[in-house]
Structure 1
């Protein structure tokens, strides 16, 4: 593994090492990574384009899909361009300010996406449990306001974390064993007291995930209770089918995030290259699959996408 020493009087830069012990395979690793990133951009931009063009899709559900698409693009774009520069050209340098900026936007997009998934669960609850009041409860304006609240929450939570990192001293070892500026990866190379940073990062992870998963669980508990009261088997199946896409997206988003968060703090027995590969795939695979899942499971969106892609 490469190493880099820099005196404290040197320029304020870090070195992103890429994937430890797999440096010789960076070019080969970049092939699926770049393909996944291109598919992510294509799929999510397609969703944004089709929804913006089609007046019939200007509904709360599709507005939420656009929010999810924007967070998916943001998550992958915060990481992949720099990661590909490391893989292809060996451009490992990143300024301290650049590193903290990347970290800030990465976590803002991640927490905002979690808020969008909560709003989606609430949307499904209203659609199934209060269908006659759906149009009055969930208007486009209200969805936008809820999305802004999620964004503001993310900024207010991540800004202190970024400022706490800014105050840390970094001495001779400035090599970050990662492809991007992940919070704990940066904390580990500091030569100062990082107790506050570690506690704050862990509290954010568990508060956000715990709160959001509790709200989603509450929504689905009420949905299941309402569905069980439906006598018609066909209506029962239709109600459950409306939730399938959201459940798939939710599992793909939260499961790898929890794994990545816990292994970075407690998974000393997991090889670094395995953890970092999985951390990168977490930022690539769900954003790539989300528009595909919703495109397949949502007939209105599927038909409108077909209208543009099949046009001669």
Structure 2
């Protein structure tokens, strides 16, 4: 395993991904829950996409954004997990320089898409509660298409410079990345020379996107709460709160590990062990992808009923097949 890069060739052909530094001996045991989480994320989000696409009653703005979230979660978990499992199971730690930059672009751009979708879902809930009679006339198919395009363009524009900023760096001393995937700051840390542009751009990017999105979501919910408390009956208020419950849970699931990981990475490097930071970075990418379909399956009555109907139909088909085999 190469540990150093020749100073005459400052850009390595490959990087070496360590995995979770300090926990190399436990990688097999760590890989088992990670693999299960990935499988559950794929199955849960695929089922969610199938239900939304196959049932016309789900063809409305709320479920449009939910299908975007499910597709994005599949992409985000798939951008890191297969390579991570190859590290844990096959000791395949090398990754081509260009492939590393591509992975970094998708990891960070899909993270920006994720938070953009949560902002769009907050706007959807604001319109649904504050302007219920105008809900469908405001959130038209044309507007939904424009919102989705804006979310994708914003992610592309903000993350597109990162591969070029990393490509300009020199790696004189080592090509060993102390991470389980190609994360921007993990690559910057092992570079030699001036990395101030990367550090400043990464910090501005994190603060501006997260700060703007959280501010918009908070503003939406302030107006939602104001509208809810003006509703005449307790039942109406409870119904309004219940429509936002799943979205609030998803916001907490997504932002809590992400903000904690950012704070430990930027300000708690001396007090927080490095393997804890890497573990949290993986939790930030994987756990929301697994939990989001579960939250919406439990909190959203229409989806819950549709899933139960599918499961009951599958059970009936299974018993029919068993009975047919027995009769034959």
Q: CA deviation at 1:6?
A: 2.9
- 1:291 matched to 2:290? The reply is no
Unaligned runs of 5+ in 2: 318-328
2:4 maps to 5
Q: CA deviation at 1:220?
A: 0.3
What secondary structure does 1:310 align onto? helix
8 Å contact from structure 1 (residues 245, 297) kept in 2: yes
Once residues 288 and 110 of structure 1 are traced to their aligned partners in structure 2, the CA distance between those partners, rounded to angstroms, is 15
Q: Give the ranges of 4+ consecutive aligned residues of structure 1 lying more than 4 Å apart after TM superposition.
A: none
Which shows bigger deviation, 60-69 or 10-19?
A: 10-19
- 1:188 matched to 2:189? The reply is yes
Unaligned runs of 5+ in 1: none
Once residues 217 and 147 of structure 1 are traced to their aligned partners in structure 2, the CA distance between those partners, rounded to angstroms, is 21
Once residues 199 and 28 of structure 1 are traced to their aligned partners in structure 2, the CA distance between those partners, rounded to angstroms, is 37
What secondary structure does 2:15 align onto? strand
- The superposition leaves residues 150-190 of structure 1 with CA deviations (integer Å, 9 ceiling, x where unpaired) of 11000000011221111111113111101001111000000
8 Å contact from structure 1 (residues 103, 183) kept in 2: yes
8 Å contact from structure 2 (residues 12, 97) kept in 1: no
**Which of these two proteins has the greater Rg computed from alpha carbons?**
2
Aligned counterpart for 1:306 among listed residues 305, 308, 313: 308
1:128 maps to 129
In structure 2, the CA distance between the partners of 1:203 and 1:11, relative to structure 1 (3 Å rule), is: closer
Which shows bigger deviation, 299-308 or 20-29?
A: 299-308
2:209 maps to 208
What TM-score do the two structures reach when normalised by structure 2?
0.92
Q: CA deviation at 1:262?
A: 2.2
Q: CA deviation at 1:305?
A: 2.1
Q: CA deviation at 1:55?
A: 1.2
- For 1:1-312, what aligned pairs fall within 5 Å after superposition? 4-8=3-7, 9=9, 12-268=13-269, 269-311=271-313, 312=317
What TM-score do the two structures reach when normalised by structure 1?
0.97
Once residues 312 and 287 of structure 2 are traced to their aligned partners in structure 1, the CA distance between those partners, rounded to angstroms, is 26
8 Å contact from structure 1 (residues 63, 140) kept in 2: no
What secondary structure does 1:94 align onto? strand
Equivalent pairs counted in the alignment come to 311
- The superposition leaves residues 8-49 of structure 1 with CA deviations (integer Å, 9 ceiling, x where unpaired) of 548511000011111111001000000000000000000111
8 Å contact from structure 1 (residues 249, 286) kept in 2: yes
2:322 maps to none
Q: CA deviation at 1:307?
A: 2.4
Once residues 141 and 27 of structure 1 are traced to their aligned partners in structure 2, the CA distance between those partners, rounded to angstroms, is 48
Once residues 208 and 5 of structure 2 are traced to their aligned partners in structure 1, the CA distance between those partners, rounded to angstroms, is 37
8 Å contact from structure 2 (residues 12, 175) kept in 1: no
Q: CA deviation at 1:148?
A: 1.3
Q: CA deviation at 1:261?
A: 1.7
8 Å contact from structure 1 (residues 68, 116) kept in 2: yes
Q: CA deviation at 1:3?
A: 7.3
Q: CA RMSD in A?
A: 1.3
Once residues 179 and 260 of structure 1 are traced to their aligned partners in structure 2, the CA distance between those partners, rounded to angstroms, is 15
What secondary structure does 2:80 align onto? helix
Once residues 173 and 286 of structure 1 are traced to their aligned partners in structure 2, the CA distance between those partners, rounded to angstroms, is 33
Once residues 163 and 264 of structure 2 are traced to their aligned partners in structure 1, the CA distance between those partners, rounded to angstroms, is 21
